[in-house]
């Protein structure tokens, strides 16, 4: 199928794109890499009447390292991260996550901002950014704000972005020392979205964050599991009970198969982290 007709403009500043988004009685959509949007347009699942191309806005490409955080511009592509064109004080975690996204042709164009804005619960970046306690910077023609990534993603393909708001980039806090991580992802075949994906991260001072995505309403932290691991829980039954407690809250719709699947990915991410 082909996309339904739409108008197209190229914005050169955030203010311009935001003003176009805010136009009343128009359904406008931002396009950056287009790797998720174009198929949706072609299947006519999405039918905006205006596409605002933000791929040339310089301020969305701003990527730099501050003493306590790295700032990643929204237009950073998965391939930029995979190829190491980004500071990665996370022991290779960002590169590892980027290289596991779909396949290379998608990674050449797909952006981190686009991935988060789509809010697919099975996408890689939201899980990673939640585990790393990243903040997202959001701006419009009028104002800018920063909020924790978990507060941006409201549910399946839903965010708390205002009609005129654009994701500018992400601030990912730098770890104080060495960071260990384990990433386990279950996909039906190469390049597919994950049925379940868990990322376990341990900071030098001992804090542990385990984020889970996939067949859930939205990615979330397995807090009881993380705490139990940190407290030195030695038995697998104890760990499984903690994960079950987290899944009851974060994935209440999960049937027995999904419970087993998510539990397995969380335990494997942990085992992988401990092996590093």
SS3 content of the chain, % helix, strand, coil (to 5): 35, 25, 40
Structure tokens at 248: 């009851």
| Residue 156 touching other proteins (CB under 8 A) | no
For residue 127, which of 276, 275, 265, 231 has the smallest C-alpha distance?
Answer: 265
Cα–Cα dist 84/181, whole Å: 18
Nearer to other proteins, 195 or 233 (CB): 195
Which residues, 6+ apart, have CB-to-CB distance to 268 below 8 Å? 182, 184, 198
User: Is residue 176 near other proteins by the rule CB under 8 A?
Assistant: no
88 near other proteins (CB under 8 A)? no
Report how many residues bind other proteins under the rule CB under 8 A. Answer: 13
Query: Which one, of 143, 140, 151, 255, lies nearest residue 195 by Cα?
Result: 255
Please give the residues from 31 up to 60 whose contact with other proteins meets the rule CB under 8 A. Answer: 39, 43
Residues 97/213, Cβ–Cβ less than 8 Å = no
Residue 68 CB, shortest distance to other proteins, in Å, is 40
Binding flag, residue 106, other proteins (CB under 8 A): no
| Among 8, 188, 205, 252, interactor with other proteins by CB under 8 A | 188
CB of 233 vs other proteins, minimal distance in Å? 24
Q: Is 186 in the site for other proteins (CB under 8 A)?
A: yes
Nearer to other proteins by C-beta: 77 or 263? Answer: 263
Residues 212-241 binding other proteins (CB under 8 A) are: none
Sign of the torsion angle spanned by Cα atoms 100, 220, 275, 207: positive
**By the rule CB under 8 A, 84 interacts with other proteins:** no
20-37 burial string, b = 16+ CB within 10 Å, else e? bbbeeeeebbbbbbbbbb
In whole angstroms, the minimum distance from the beta carbon of 163 to other proteins comes to: 28
- Least distance to other proteins from the beta carbon of 214, Å? 12
146 or 192: CB nearest other proteins: 192
At what angle are helices 256-275 and 236-250 packed, to 10 degrees? 120
Part of the chain binding other proteins (CB under 8 A), chosen from 70-78, 163-171, 186-194, 266-274: 186-194
Q: How far apart are CA 149 and CA 105, in angstroms?
A: 27
Q: What residues make contact with other proteins under the rule CB under 8 A?
A: 39, 43, 186, 188-192, 195, 256-257, 260-261
């Amino acid at each position: 199928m082909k996309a339904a007709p739409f108008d197209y403009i190229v914005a050169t500043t955030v203010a311009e794109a935001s003003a176009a988004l805010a136009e009343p009685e128009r359904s406008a959509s931002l396009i950056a890499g287009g790797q998720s949007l174009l198929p949706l347009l072609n299947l006519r699942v999405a039918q905006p009447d205006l596409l605002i191309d933000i791929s040339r806005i310089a301020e969305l490409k701003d990527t730099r390292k501050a003493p306590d955080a790295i700032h990643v511009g929204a237009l950073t592509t998965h391939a930029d991260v995979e190829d190491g064109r980004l500071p990665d004080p996370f022991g290779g975690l960002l590169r590892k996550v980027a290289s596991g996204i779909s396949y290379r042709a998608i990674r050449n164009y797909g952006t981190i901002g686009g991935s988060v804005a789509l809010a697919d619960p099975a996408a890689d970046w939201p899980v990673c950014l939640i585990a790393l306690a990243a903040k997202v910077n959001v701006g419009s023609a009028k104002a800018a704000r920063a909020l924790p990534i978990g507060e941006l993603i409201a549910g399946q393909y839903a965010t708390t972005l205002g009609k005129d708001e654009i994701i500018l980039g992400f601030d990912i806090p730098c770890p104080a020392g060495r960071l260990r991580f384990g990433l386990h992802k279950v996909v039906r075949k190469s390049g597919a979205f994950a049925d379940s994906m868990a990322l376990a991260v341990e900071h030098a001072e001992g804090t542990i964050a385990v984020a889970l995505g996939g067949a859930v309403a939205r990615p979330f932290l397995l807090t009881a599991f993380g705490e139990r691991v940190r407290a030195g829980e030695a038995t697998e039954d104890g760990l499984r009970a903690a994960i079950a407690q987290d899944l009851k809250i974060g994935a209440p719709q999960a049937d027995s198969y999904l419970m087993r699947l998510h539990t397995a990915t969380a335990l494997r991410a942990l085992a992988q982290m401990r092996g590093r």
